[in-house]
Structure 1
């Protein structure tokens, strides 16, 4: 098994229901922030890594995303007839991703500062970790009002609890996917098993981050990166 990830999964299959009218006729990854689709902001983080395999999963209005990605080096994993959630979607895409650990990246956030994928790569230690999650301090999570998801000890080992916010980027080993019987499941199921064995870790992000899961998130993200409409 490879020690360092050579593939990345873009999660792009969701319905984007919290976006309301903005996603009635287009998938959420094509909603624009600062004049560019969300998925292009995500690809800006991916490109510098020069990974041999990048995959996006599609379900809602897949033809639009497929057309947008047709000129980019992104393989497509179409989920039909059912959407498979993060865990099921990742397992469905394994033939395209290959073996070994992979990056996963949500496509509904905007980042400002260091590249979170580079931070993950710097701190990844496969001897100790089965997954390494990017975690955002509350003061750097623009517009976020939740209590947080994880607490990290001095070594970076994670426990669930109010504190840091999961930012939607990680490196994860895929071995445990084969042990799940359900076809539709969340990666939280794998994280819970890793928590039990003490092999779930987090890396704190040093920049600012904004979840763009709802219309206000577009405004917040544009203010965060200093974008001005003309």
Structure 2
């Protein structure tokens, strides 16, 4: 558990279409939940885990994002500029990782977060850093049980076996995979060099998830606490109630 990951990338360049009309005038990562911008939940979580540098990609209303990030204290923030073309999750990550050395990194989504970690115990990201083993894994994902979510659509993403190995939660030849059904919680530990062979332009990060599954190198760790996402304006109230209940 003592291993620290000091570099990260936060994916924050999406258009936030489902959050309109709020996102007509502000980017989704700056939408506030319980008075705090969504991206600050991600950045604070990284900082609490000992992260020192975070790349953040920007596209929609990028000037607002840059102004907000310039004021963030306690971590170096590097901007990966996608103003000219939006690169999707995989292309955006591949571009942003070029600003970091070849090291172990966290990858975080900017539009979800978790609460209710146990004070005095390792944080979820600290546990994920300790769990990740580059010799055996391409990626280690933070995952959450469906009953520990607020705002999720009910879809289960992966099946996790007793060792933490992940496969897609869908039937193969009519048979569902063994293991516990879990939801991807939007945080990954990996080496930045994993995407060194990435194609140019926009692509979805699911390409690398499936490649890791095929090689038996995608693993997951169950999140401690409660996971929150707010995809629409109507979901903000439930998210704020979860913050009050679990914080």
Q: Report the aligned-residue RMSD.
A: 1.7
> SS of the counterpart of 1:26?
coil
Matched with 1:32 is 32
For residue 119 of structure 1, the aligned residue among 123, 127, 130 is 127
> SS of the counterpart of 1:169?
strand
The structural deviation recorded for 1:101 is 2.5
> SS of the counterpart of 1:93?
helix
Give CA deviations for 1:49-78 in whole Å, capped at 9, x if unaligned: 332321100000000010011122311111
Give CA deviations for 1:105-163 in whole Å, capped at 9, x if unaligned: 11111311223312311311222111001111011011323231001111000000062
CA distance in 2, matches of 1:6, 1:143: 30
> SS of the counterpart of 2:25?
coil
> SS of the counterpart of 1:44?
helix
CA distance in 2, matches of 1:62, 1:176: 27
Which stretch of structure 1 is more off in the superposition, 71-80 or 170-179?
A: 170-179
In the alignment, is residue 199 of structure 1 matched against residue 217 of structure 2?
yes
> SS of the counterpart of 2:133?
coil
CA distance in 2, matches of 1:87, 1:116: 23
Name structure 1 gaps, 5 residues minimum.
none
> SS of the counterpart of 2:10?
strand
4+ residue stretches of structure 1 with deviation over 4 A?
Answer: none
Matched with 2:58 is 58
In the alignment, is residue 175 of structure 1 matched against residue 193 of structure 2?
yes
Matched with 1:141 is 149
Q: 2:57–2:80: 8 Å Cα contact kept in structure 1?
A: yes
> SS of the counterpart of 1:226?
helix
Which stretch of structure 1 is more off in the superposition, 40-49 or 58-67?
A: 40-49
In the alignment, is residue 226 of structure 1 matched against residue 234 of structure 2?
no
CA distance in 1, matches of 2:196, 2:99: 16
The structural deviation recorded for 1:4 is 5.8
